[in-house]
């Protein structure tokens, strides 16, 4: 049986995924930015205002965080969702946030314009099927050691329930290299474009684990055809409760946005 996600021969056009007013998979390069985790109202608001001013069109921020250690900060939960909701209203930015548990879907759906499935849940098939029933867009991150085939099947779990609003997000895979947190598979971007009709994102923050590498790898992803980027930004990365080492401060994010424009243009994309 031919998978829905794979029907590139029947559907040449990239599927347009609509998140609020933002269209992913069209001529515009979409930049999603924000903190790894929602820590406080002030932290999220200052970040949202700044990334919007600099040209990002969607806000990210985790309220439920998957952490390697159960003793690390695991997010503000419902309180975080409330902050996200207020800041979404204030800034008009559509928001994406992670869902880890099917029991939280309704609560998160009240706020989120897009669900994020994190790497650790890429093969949580019951969760994927539940999201398929919601018809809400899903940002499906690549599993820590998932092949493209496994990743496409994960998308199929969502799509086979009737939800075709799926964006695939490359975020690096586990290899023998230890200098970087993960190894970014740039090839995955054009390969997925060959194999599927879904939009493809790149998250160079988790991909590299080092803020100094985020911009150059982001540019490479756009040159390779990514439909969008997801970038972690924090007002004071050195004080972040999660992923500070890979988060850009406002100045570094501004610098990335400056560099992005000519690269996007060179590959026929525009930044809003």
Site residues for ligand PEP, window 209-268 (CB under 6 A)?
none
Q: State in angstroms the smallest separation of the CB of 243 from Mn ion.
A: 4
Instruction: Give whichever of 197 and 206 is closer to ligand PEP, judged by the CB atom.
Output: 206
Q: State in angstroms the smallest separation of the CB of 50 from ligand PEP.
A: 19
Q: How many CB atoms lie within 10 A of CB 30?
A: 25
Instruction: Give whichever of 16 and 239 is closer to ligand PEP, judged by the CB atom.
Output: 239
* Nearest Cα residue to 257 out of 51, 49, 23: 51
223, 263 Cβ separation under 8 angstroms: yes
Q: Assess 118 for contact with ligand PEP (CB under 6 A).
A: yes
Select the span of 28-36, 40-48, 53-61, 85-93 touching Mn ion (CB under 5 A). 28-36
Q: Assess 241 for contact with Mn ion (CB under 5 A).
A: no
Select the span of 22-30, 46-54, 76-84, 113-121 touching ligand PEP (CB under 6 A). 113-121
Return the H-helix or E-strand segment holding 42: helix 41-53
Cα 119 to the center of its chain, rounded Å: 11
Q: Assess 206 for contact with ligand PEP (CB under 6 A).
A: yes
82, 63 Cβ separation under 8 angstroms: no
8 binds, among ligand PEP, Mn ion, none (CB under 5 to 8 A by kind): none
Half-sphere exposure of 31 (CA within 13 A, CB side): 30
Exactly one of 20, 26, 55, 66 binds ligand PEP (CB under 6 A); which one? 66
Select the span of 78-86, 115-123, 221-229, 261-269 touching ligand PEP (CB under 6 A). 115-123
- Backbone phi, then psi, for 255, in 5-degree steps? -65, -40
CA-CA distance, 24 to 35, in Å (whole number)? 21
141 binds, among Mn ion, ligand PEP, none (CB under 5 to 8 A by kind): ligand PEP
Exactly one of 243, 250, 253, 269 binds Mn ion (CB under 5 A); which one? 243
Select the span of 73-81, 95-103, 241-249, 255-263 touching Mn ion (CB under 5 A). 241-249
CA-CA distance, 83 to 229, in Å (whole number)? 23
Residue nearest to ligand PEP (CB): 118
CA-CA distance, 237 to 96, in Å (whole number)? 20
- Backbone phi, then psi, for 30, in 5-degree steps? -100, 125
Q: How far apart are the first and last CA of the chain?
A: 39
Q: State in angstroms the smallest separation of the CB of 222 from ligand PEP.
A: 19
Contacts with ligand PEP by CB under 6 A lie at 36, 62, 66, 118-120, 141, 171, 206
């Amino acid at each position: 049986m031919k998978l829905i996600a794979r029907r590139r021969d029947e559907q040449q056009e990239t599927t347009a995924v609509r998140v609020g007013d933002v269209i992913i998979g069209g001529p515009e390069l979409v930049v999603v930015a924000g903190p790894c985790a929602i820590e406080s109202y002030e932290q999220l608001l200052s970040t949202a205002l700044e990334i919007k001013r600099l040209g990002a069109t969607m806000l990210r921020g985790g309220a439920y965080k998957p952490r390697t250690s159960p003793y690390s900060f695991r997010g503000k939960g419902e309180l975080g969702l409330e902050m996200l909701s207020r800041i979404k209203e204030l800034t008009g930015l559509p928001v994406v946030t992670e869902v880890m548990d099917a029991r939280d879907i309704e609560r998160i759906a009240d706020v989120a314009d897009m669900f994020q499935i994190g790497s650790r849940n890429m093969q949580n098939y019951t969760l994927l099927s539940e999201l398929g029933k919601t018809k809400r867009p899903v940002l499906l991150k690549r599993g820590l050691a998932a092949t493209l085939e496994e990743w496409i099947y994960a998308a199929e779990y969502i799509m086979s329930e009737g939800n075709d609003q799926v964006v695939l997000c490359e975020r690096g895979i586990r290899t023998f290299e230890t200098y970087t947190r993960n190894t970014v598979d740039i090839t995955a971007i054009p390969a997925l474009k060959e194999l599927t009709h879904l939009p493809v994102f790149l998250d160079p923050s988790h991909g590299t684990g080092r803020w100094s590498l985020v911009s150059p790898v982001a540019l490479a992803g756009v040159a390779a055809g990514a439909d969008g980027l997801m970038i972690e930004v924090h007002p004071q990365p050195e004080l972040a409760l999660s992923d500070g080492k890979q988060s850009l401060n406002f100045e570094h994010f501004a610098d990335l946005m400056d560099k992005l424009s000519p690269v996007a243009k060179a590959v026929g994309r525009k930044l809003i």
